Structure 1
Amino acid sequence: MSSLDEVLSTLNEAWRGSLGPILRNAGIDRYARYALIAIGILFLITLVKKILSPIVTVFLKPLRRLKANFDEKARTELEKRDVMKQIKQMLERQEYESAAKLLESIEKQEEAAGYYVQAGDYISAAGLYESLGNLEKAAALYKDGGNNTKAGEIFLQIKDYRNAASMYEKGGFSEKAAGMYEQLGEHNKAAELYEICLADEGRRGGSSAKGFALKSGKLFEMAGAQQRAVQVYLRAGLHLEAAVAYEILRDFIKAGECYLNAGNLAKAAECFGKGGDERKSNEVLSRLYYEKRLLKEAASYSEKAGDFVRAAEILVEAEEFMSAGELYENAGQFQEAAEVFLRIGNFQRAAETFEKAGNFAMAAKMCQKAGCPTVKVGELFEKGGDYLEAGNFFLQSGLHDKALDAFQMIDPASENYKPASISIGEIFFRKGMLKLAFEKLKKCISGEPINKSNIEAYYYLGRCLESAGEAEKAKAIYGKVLSERYNFKDVKERIERL
């Protein structure tokens, strides 16, 4: 039966069933009825297609994908065969690097890595082994390829701390390497690397220098390298740590110096004492007690140290002036000693120490206050170059020749020359050398009217004239003296006698 016959048969059945009676009642002829039935059937088919189309699509999509994948795999397989042929040719030509790249492109990483190694490209091989999870091989190849940092990272991942430390050290990561060597118990190696960190930090002017020095020094100590530890500590100014290390080395003097720099005076003094330097120990103890304001004890230790000047200074501060003066004197500081003795009114000791200091003018004044003999005072003035005062004191002592020598030392240009000349005239008179006395005194007056500065010269000029028997001339001179100062010496009595 043909398809058309089947359709007509279906329409007849529909007609007989339900549509025929409806259409017959409507008065529609047979062919028109067939047409309407056909339209209805087409409508039904279209409706069914719309409903079923998404469902069919869902079922067909995976099938299409499977087909596409199959086609792709087939194509890829063909391409791989072509690539493998190229790789074989490259290997025959020993073009290992090119072969490795093609193998990598077709996802044959392990084979590619092997050929990268043959080509000497250790870094690319290492990268592939790393991606494959073969970290031991990757680390070794990074190491061989000179990528120390990457090698160190992977060695660290696989807990191979020794190789990791070595790689970080070669890569210039000294601090990381030091930390690992420290974990491994290699204290000396770790200390050396921290010392490098210290030097680098110093060049950069960083703030971690002391931290690195402390780590390095402690590790050197743990390694038994005390001397290296000391050097590191001192470089970073860690004096306290250096001092402790020196004590372990039994170098007590250097330990003392370090304790001193660290401000630990008690330990510094103790170490200097242990090292046999008692002087230094006492110096430090003096500082210690001075800081505590125990001045007498501080002075005592300075004295024990032989530093008499410092001891004296402290005693002056403590108002122990007599002891201070004696210590200044023991130290040869005579000027300071004299000033301290003068401060407490001890003129005798002041005179002695001023004389020792070469301050003869002050020594003479102190001697005078202390009631020393006038000749001693004169000698001190003479040593000090004050010839007028020296001559006057010698004159008071009746030492005319010494007085004369002193007066004659005075420079004619000096303001003291005139009073000295008058005194010389007096000495000549006392020695009976009337002519010399008269000439000297006359020269002093040199026609100058009598006044306070030359009244003494007029007086002795009168005495010379009186002694020479020239009474009238003497009286005339005495008269001038009385007119200037009525009660001057014994002038009135002498006039009466004449």
Structure 2
Amino acid sequence: DSPDGAVPGDRPGPRRGRRAISTPSEYAKRAKKAAASGDFSQAGDFYRLAGDWQRANEMYLEGSHFDLAARLAEEMGDLPSAALYHLKAGDLKASGEIEIRLDNRDKAAHLLSLAGEHARAAELLDSLDQFEAAAVQYDKGGFREKAALLYVKGGKNLAAAHLFEKLIESAGNDDQGGFRSEAERASLLRYHRYCGELFMKAEQPKKAAPHFEAALLSEQAAEAWRRAGNVEKAADILLRLQKPDQAYRILKEAGKDVSSLAPAVQAELLARQGNHREAAEVFEKAGSHFRAAEAYKEAGDLLKAATLFEKEGESDQAADLYVRAGRHEDAARLFEAARDFKNAADLFRKAGKIEDAARVLLKAGERVAAARLHYDQKDFDACIKALQKVAPDDREYRKASFLLGRIFAEQGLHTLAVDKFTGAIAGEEIDDETVLIYYSLGLTHEANFRPREALSIYQKIVAFDYGYKDVMGRIKAIESQPLQNIGARGGSRSSPQESGWAEVGRYRIEQSLGAGKLGEVFRGTDTELGRPVAIRRVTERPEEKGKVDRFLKEAATAAQLRHPSIVSVYDTGADQQGRFIVSELAEGKTLRALLTEKVRFEVHRVLEIGSQILQALDHAHSRGILHRNLRPENIFIGRDDKVMVSDFGLGVRLSDLPTQELSTGSVIQYTPPEVLLKDRVDQRSDLYAFGIVLYEMAVGHPPFQGSDIGHLQVHAAVPLPGPGERPLPDFLKAVILRCMDKDKERRYPDAKAVLEDLTLKEVVPGIVVTERYEVLAEVGRGGMGTIFRARDVELDETVALKFLKGEIGPDLLARFVQEIKAARKVIHPNVVQVFTLEKWRDHRFIVMEYIDGVSLPRWLSRTPVPQRADRLRLALQMASALEAAHQAGIIHRDIKPENILVTAAGEAKVLDFGIARLEAPGHTLTSTGTIVGSPMYMSPEQIQAHAVDRRSDVYSFGAVLYYLFTGVEPFAGKDLQEIMMKHLQGRPVPPHQLDPTLPRSLSDAILRALAQDRDQRFQSARDLATALSLSAEAPAAGAAGRGTRTAS
């Protein structure tokens, strides 16, 4: 064995050195070569790694690799195409799931029903109010209760009642020794009640009455018996309920002789005599809570009366009495249940339950009122959450904006506060309603060191109300400040000599490249040196006085930088149209342009581009220069992902931005919290922006979007990618989260530290491992690890790499080496061949034959549904593969549908023999104490941690056969414990009872393979295969004895 644990095999030993990652142009060349040779799957993989996903999709389609095309279309966001390709691949379930995301629920339900996903189909049909169709699907999926309830919604009462009776019958069959759990008893009572109610609606009281009795609903049972004509039984129930007056009445009405009745009428007599408390107690004992409540009310015991009224569902009376009794919280609870949210909130407030009051106000749509309660409690986060739900067209939008402004101002977020106060004013002139908002806006401008703006606001207030609050005093204080404190920021303009302006006419402007916050950029030529340049004309608005001088000064500083990944600043100059900055012309597109074009970046490209950005930042930071404006617009991606970062030092000040952009603009999306809080910035501020850029490349959009981005930058946690988005590898996620920590002290100290962590620690498409295997795409994940499609660069052929999950200690490594050596002995057309076990960095991986196929569950869900003859052919192939392994002394230990692939030609391939073990006695390398296998298909001896042999595989194979021929898992349960107990004690429903067209001999063979006692099973896979072959021509179970044969 080699020192790193690799198992030598038939594959060439010498290796040619290769770069760990190829360039996009290299991938494109390989893609063309693969396409020319007809290997469209590999061509598509290479185009994908080159970033040309559209061309990759064309290759997959040309090669009829619809599953790969579907997966790619889904990642590209082209969901209609993804649904179509899944359908062409025969994967109805996947197609249906995509149609759900497209909100084509009717179509999705149809596809999922065909795929056997009846419960999912039912949910969709229910959401479309197609209750009867949904009920049918739930019934097919085995969810009878849900089916019955939907029949009720659809008005099919008898159909619902019959399903509930089946549930009752099933519960009786499952009853072992008369023991039922509390939940099971409650369900049974509920089913009986439903049956009673439904049969009554169907005018069948005789069928309803026994169900009401079984549900312990005696009054309903009495009424049902009365309507069914059995008044004696009805009267007997009423007497047991201590309702002699009703019993007497119905007997008399029926003309029956009544000799005596129990004296339960005493309560009525007591009430008539004015003895209300005694009457109430008798009524209560008799279970007549409503009459008892009335009597307690008359007796003045309001709390007792309220409690009983509530029990009887008389919420209005109960709530009124709770209020009169001073029990405001109880009353509020009932008002809330009755959806009288306003009264409920008022009572919760009186009871001191402020959070509950706010909660019900939100239910009532009174968001501002709810927010005020949170504000009074200093719960600003809850307050902001409520206020941000108020739409601009809401009548209380002004109040919401004003309150948001106050909160932001109190938190020191003055820029955001100004935005909200301005939105609350909405351009209206000052009046009695808006004067307070104007005053608050002025105070916030002062706090934000904008005295000129504050003075303007205060002057408007004085013009409206001369004596308003302390406005005059504030005006005098501002006007007494030195003039420079209220003028435009920045110093005086430097002379041409001081600024280093270039000679007029040296640069020729040729083409506009676009305009941004820093001015318009042109492609030009330096006529003296004959080189292409970029010329940025720097402009400033009247309110931005001093910006041009500042930019020229910062450009002069940035001119010190000389680095391959930094756009060099050459010169500054001026002409009749103004001043400009001359810099190196960066080739390629900006990262923003690529993201806008929906270019997807594989992880290896994210790391490559990110590393170059970090090298540029490190070079600048080491010379004391910050970028201050790092975002995709300032990052150029050239040929083969060569990166150039521009605009070092040319940061846009928040004071230069319009109010709207302070909430939603592109600049604010990359602004670190300390800038928004006007705190000191340093190189870690650039790293925060870098973390956002890294996130956007990996996921496709920045982490914070929508409105109030500034608030999110300061307070919100970084959101992780959601459903349908590409997940972040753990190591990359950790880098991004540390870069974007709100606290600078917890971020990386410098760019070099980030570079150390921004290295591949996981296997991703695009890399070459052990200088031999080029990883092309991930094809699956499981309990043992992750499987990738890869290219063996030595043999130029496709292989599968299975990277094992977790650390592998010496003992486990020795076991894997031994087992793979054994697995290599199994050479069989229906076994996935294992080549070798290798190591890359800290990862161990198995190199296997690559099979272009689908798992058995996906094959079974395809359309048209595979015929029984095709299933039987697969079963015989699997049995042959197992027999070959057993003859080599190998036990698989994890036979399950997911470990069986079906090729495009319809051939079975059994995989994962790499975790099998030798059967030879005395083998010590397998005693790890772990149980290997999947619970749904695990043999009883595996569950009990007993020794396993080939018959254990026969049991697991029997469970697979059960699923193969019925579509149902034989030992399904609600949790792991129930599944295990079914293996150890239960017996599955015979397959021919689920599908009467199955031959009885086939059903019996499957059940024999599933015998709990291994001595009762088939003793070899060959014996099982023989039984399967004999069953092929046997008649269907439903046709036995009738002289007929069912076509398969």
Query: Could you tell me the TM-score, scaled by structure 1's length?
Result: 0.41
Which of the two has greater strand per residue? 2
Normalization by structure 2: what TM-score?
0.21
- Greater relative contact order structure (CA < 8 Å, 6+ sep): 2
| Structure with the largest fraction of helix | 1
Q: Which has the larger radius of gyration?
A: 1
